[in-house]
Amino acid sequence: MNSELYDLLIKSEKTQQSDEWDLLYNNLPVVIAEDANSLQAALERLDDVGGYGYVATWKKNLFAFNTKLLSKRCGLIDENGGLLKAARVPKN
C-alpha cells in the first residue's frame, strides 16, 4: 500500500507494519479506507478475521462514516494513529 494516509500512519508509534494487512494496531489488523467509497471494501477485508480490527481513515472524513453502521467489533483510528473508536478484542 502506498498512500499519503499510509505514510502518516506508519510514522505513528502506535502502528506496526504487517505483511498480511495494511498495518497492525494493538496487534489487531488495520485496513485503510481513505473515503466512504472505500469503506465497504475495507470492511470486507476485515471479514477474514471475523471483523475484529481497525479501519483507518482521515479525521476530516470521520463524519462521512456513520460509526454506528461500522461493525460492533471494528474500531476506527485516524491518520495519526489516534483512537476514535475502540475495537472489541476477540474472546479466546
What pLDDT score was predicted for residue 40? Answer: 86
Average pLDDT over the chain reads 85
Checking if the pLDDT of 1 tops 60, the result is: no
91 domain-assigned: no
Q: Please report whether residue 8 resides in a domain.
A: yes
The percentage of residues in the chain with a pLDDT greater than 70, rounded to a whole number, is 86
Number of domains in the chain: 1
Q: Is residue 92 part of a domain?
A: no
pLDDT digits (tens, 9 = 90+) for 16-57: 999 999 999 989 999 999 888 888 888 889 888 887 899 999
Domain that holds residue 55: 4-85
Buried residues in 34-70 as b, exposed as e (16+ CB within 10 A): beeeebeebbebbeeeebbbbbbbbeebeeebeeeeb
Q: What is the pTM of this model?
A: 0.86
Let me know if residue 60 belongs to a domain.
Answer: yes
